[in-house]
Structure 1
Amino acid sequence: MFVPSFSLLSLGPIINRWKRLVGWAVGLAALVSLVVSLLLPNIYRSTAIFIPTNPQAADPDRLLEDNAQVRGKLELGGRAEDLDRVISIGESQPVAELIIKKFDLYRHYKVGPPGDDDHDNAVLKEFSDNLGIVHNDRDAIELTFMDKDKNLAANVANAMVHVIDSVNQQLTFENRRTVLDLHRKRYEFLNTNFERSRRELVKARRHYGIYGLEMQGRYMAKQIIETEAALRKAEGGGGDVAGLRRALRGLTRADGGNVINLERFVQGADSLNMFANRVADLGSRLVSARATYESAELTLKGRISSIYKVQKAYPATRKSKPFRSLIVLGSMLVTFALSVAFITLLEFYRHNRPDAAQPA
């Protein structure tokens, strides 16, 4: 059996013999693809760009360490774990369901009412296909949403950024609550100890009769010196020796009858110094603990954002797809290639039929 060989050079005559059929096929494909492309709705793309920060930057236990550290903690993060966490949150099903419910995408995508598994899967698939969250080469997150309604696309993209920020904050919210509770307990503990130490100091002052160490010490020393000098002078003659002896005993002995006396002053000086230092230390720590607690509470209630928005999403000014000219051109090229393949196989079959292979 004779089998003719085919080459690219032999396609020219074949196409020339079937040019009318190929032309009709390509023209029909162009017409159909043009109609289909005109029926396709315009799709608009809106993109929001943001940079995640380290959520530990807003932890109350680290907020007031010092000003330099605060400035450092409030700077942008861009760590790999922060970027991965934000992308995982954005691609999670709970976030998708929240956005779908917020914008009533069941009705917008015309998939039917919610509650049916097929409808739920259809709207989730449509939403996921239109959503894109990527980490660009500048350590930022680009969140893109596409829709035939350009305003809806921008609103969904901005809402997604807000939800991601809220969920990202919520990841450390309980831990921050625990830390805030620790600050509160520390403040209450210091306040209780401060009040107890202050009462002990007042009690010690009353017990020892000491209300001012420095001034009282100077006054007591002056009185003792003057009394003792007067006693020495009286012992020389012409004075109330017995009275001065009683006065000196009252100034120096605890059993002398004086509330303020040297013996009790010496006994209480060390105790009062210890209590006073204790109260001063607790007072400074209490003021610092109260300031830290109040600032931590304000930080927790303030809900510091965990992301930095570089660019919010705006309604697109031109469509993203479809590319109608490419659709028409592509369909024409595919139809031409399929037509050439078909007529080539047809010619190959005709030349290899048994009756065509027999000699005349």
Structure 2
Amino acid sequence: MSSRSYSLLGLWPVINRWKFLVLTAVGLALVVSIVVALLLPNIYKSTAVFYPTNPNTTDPDRIFTEGGKLELGGRAEDLDRIITIGESQTVAELMIKRFQLHQHYKAGKPGNDLADQTALDEFNSNLAVVHNDRDAIELTFKDRDKVLAAKIANTLTQVIDSINQQLTFENRGKVIELYGERKTYLEQQYAATRDSLVRGRRRYGIYGMDRESRYLAQEIIQTETDLRRAEGEGDSRRAAGLRRALKGLTQADGGNLLNLENYVAGTDLMTTLYARFNDLQGRLIGARNAYETAKLAISGKISSIYVVQKAFPATKKTAPVRWLIVLSSVLITLVLSVIFITLLELYRGNLSLGRARE
């Protein structure tokens, strides 16, 4: 026996027999869907559009020392970093706490695991951070309150910028510490070398005056010449005074602050100290300049994103599309009703056929 065949046209008699049931189901679906659609709150969305900038061009050190300008960066790693920050749980929890979204979403009291997770899921479902076809980032947030949606979108943009700066320049604080340590070390060495110079000048009588050595040699030669002349003339009194003067010029215990013995002993040491002092002085000036420049650079925050469009409160709702809800509900109910009555008719037909064979 060949099997029975069915067609769409063959369904009409079946639908006609069950028309009251089908109409009742469709009418009930129509009424329920209208009520539900009217009870659903209006949903508004606000969108902020921005470009990530190239991190190398927002480095304050390079701007201060080399000059430069901001460059928009459409690199994949920059875009991925921005999207990852925007979708991170840390940012979501910060926004939930700042705007008190537990209460807004009626999720419960903060601190409860279930309430926190409910608020987090609701927030994530309303947030979209995407990379569009123009290499820009579109940050969209949806909410029943159109003003709140715009505020959250703009605040999210600022938070992403702040966190992106911290990630990009996370080692800048350590660099400042290194500059400070170098400056402090050079200041200590500079002070120690300066004290050594002061002690050396007092000890050896070398003050770095112009023609100091020439003056000492000239005085020694002149005194020795006068001594020889006095001895030759038999002027013992004058010769004794010149001997004392010559001793003072040549020996450390002679009483003169500037004398040949101390000068020869201290020349090499003082020359080395002078050279080190001058070197430390130049390095210290450079270290102070570097530290001040770096400190000034880190204190000035340069935005890591370029905002093309801020989020504004929406002028019309995004959802729900009420007519579509009603239409889809009616069509789905109609299809399900037809399927149900068709299966019921097939079941009855098979049951009757089975009894006839018996």
TM range (shorter): 0.7 to 0.9
Structure-2 change in CA distance of 1:148 and 1:35 (3 Å): same
Match for residue 47 of structure 1? 47
TM-score (norm 2): 0.74
Q: How much does 1:109 deviate?
A: 1.8
**Structure 1 residue runs without a partner (length 5+):** none
Q: Per the alignment, in what secondary structure is the counterpart of residue 130 of structure 2?
A: strand
Question: 1:46·1:146 contact (CA, 8 Å) conserved in 2?
Answer: yes
* Cα distance in 2 for residues equivalent to 1:45 and 1:27: 33
Q: Per the alignment, in what secondary structure is the counterpart of residue 143 of structure 1?
A: strand
Match for residue 323 of structure 1? 321
Question: 1:131·1:143 contact (CA, 8 Å) conserved in 2?
Answer: yes
Q: How much does 1:36 deviate?
A: 2.4
* Cα distance in 1 for residues equivalent to 2:202 and 2:71: 55
* Cα distance in 1 for residues equivalent to 2:17 and 2:295: 86
Q: Per the alignment, in what secondary structure is the counterpart of residue 207 of structure 1?
A: helix
Residue 253 of structure 1, aligned match among 246, 250, 253:
250
Residue 161 of structure 1, aligned match among 157, 160, 181:
157
Question: 2:220·2:250 contact (CA, 8 Å) conserved in 1?
Answer: no
Residue 98 of structure 1, aligned match among 84, 91, 94:
94
Q: Deviations over 1:56-102 (max 9, x none)?
A: 9989xx9379723x748x76666656655554444444443332232
Equivalent AA in structure 2 for residue 341 of structure 1: I
Question: 1:50·1:307 contact (CA, 8 Å) conserved in 2?
Answer: no
Question: 2:153·2:311 contact (CA, 8 Å) conserved in 1?
Answer: yes
CA RMSD of aligned residues (A): 4.7
Q: Per the alignment, in what secondary structure is the counterpart of residue 313 of structure 1?
A: coil
* Cα distance in 2 for residues equivalent to 1:254 and 1:328: 117
Deviates more, 1:304-313 or 1:186-195: 304-313
Q: How does 1:82-231 map to 2 (within 5 A)?
A: 84=80, 86-136=82-132, 140-167=136-163, 176-217=172-213, 219=215, 227=222
Residue 286 of structure 2, aligned match among 280, 285, 288:
288
Q: How much does 1:202 deviate?
A: 2.2
Deviates more, 1:330-339 or 1:46-55: 46-55
Residue 307 of structure 1, aligned match among 301, 304, 307:
304
Q: How many residues align?
A: 352
Question: 1:180·1:293 contact (CA, 8 Å) conserved in 2?
Answer: yes
Sequence identity (%):
53
Q: How much does 1:147 deviate?
A: 0.4
Q: How much does 1:141 deviate?
A: 4.1
Match for residue 35 of structure 1? 35
Q: Per the alignment, in what secondary structure is the counterpart of residue 113 of structure 1?
A: coil
* Cα distance in 1 for residues equivalent to 2:133 and 2:249: 85
**Structure 2 residue runs without a partner (length 5+):** none
Q: Deviations over 1:201-236 (max 9, x none)?
A: 2222333333235443455567678x49986xx79x
Q: How much does 1:194 deviate?
A: 0.2
